[in-house]
């Protein structure tokens, strides 16, 4: 939607309001931190599931470690990106609501588990979507890295801007085709 803040509670509230106004499909686009060493600023990630390390999702769904993105929306994102020959990876993200409490132990454990990114909204949005019966997908542009012993802000603004434009254009395309 726009510049409404960050984090799971505000994203979930906005989604509930948009749903009340008739929106029935959602894609969340944004920045994420890379947990894997091969990710660089500007790389594209399609999120297929999110680790629930925030509070919102637990108010919408029974307990589980992960919450899945909608397969149809995820597949549409993957197909559209691939059709334009955009390089991307698909995988799990760690959703947290405490960005300055991402401990080295957690980062390493989730990295070893194969989780690709860390961000602040996906698990909540996937949970709200499942609760409301609204398909939700998510895609991210890598903006920084937590793959080593310290945080790396290798924020290449041009690469990130290009990545966000690609994701935006892709989302417009898949929603236009679905009419």
Confidence (pLDDT) at 98 = 85
Cα 108 to Cα 88: distance, rounded to the nearest angstrom: 23
Q: What is the pTM of this model?
A: 0.93
Confidence (pLDDT) at 149 = 60
Confidence (pLDDT) at 178 = 67
Confidence (pLDDT) at 99 = 79
Domains in the chain: ranges and CATH: 30-177 (3.40.50.1580)
What Cα–Cα distance (Å) separates residue 60 from each residue in 24, 84, 100? Answer: 17, 36, 25
Cα 46 to Cα 89: distance, rounded to the nearest angstrom: 6
Answer yes or no: are the C-beta atoms of 91 and 47 closer than 8 Å: yes
* Average pLDDT, 10 consecutive residues per value, the chain (179 residues): 74 97 97 93 98 98 98 98 98 92 88 96 99 99 80 74 97 85
Number of helices followed by number of strands (H, E) in the chain: 5, 6
């Amino acid at each position: 939607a726009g510049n409404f803040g960050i984090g799971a509670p505000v994203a979930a509230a906005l989604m509930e309001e948009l749903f009340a106004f008739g929106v029935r499909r959602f894609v969340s686009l944004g920045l994420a931190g890379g947990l894997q060493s091969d990710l660089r600023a500007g790389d594209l990630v399609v999120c297929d599931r999110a680790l629930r390390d925030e509070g919102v999702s637990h108010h919408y769904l029974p307990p589980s470690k992960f919450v899945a993105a909608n397969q149809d929306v995820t597949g549409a994102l993957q197909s559209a990106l691939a059709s334009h020959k955009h390089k991307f990876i698909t995988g799990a993200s760690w959703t947290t609501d405490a960005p300055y409490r991402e401990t080295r132990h957690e980062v390493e454990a989730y990295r070893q588990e194969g989780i690709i990114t860390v961000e602040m909204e996906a698990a909540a949005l996937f949970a709200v979507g499942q609760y409301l019966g609204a398909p939700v997908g998510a895609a991210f542009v890598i903006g920084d890295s937590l793959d080593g012993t310290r945080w790396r802000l290798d924020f290449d603004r041009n690469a990130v801007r290009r990545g966000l434009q690609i994701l935006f254009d892709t989302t417009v395309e898949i929603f236009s085709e679905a009419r």
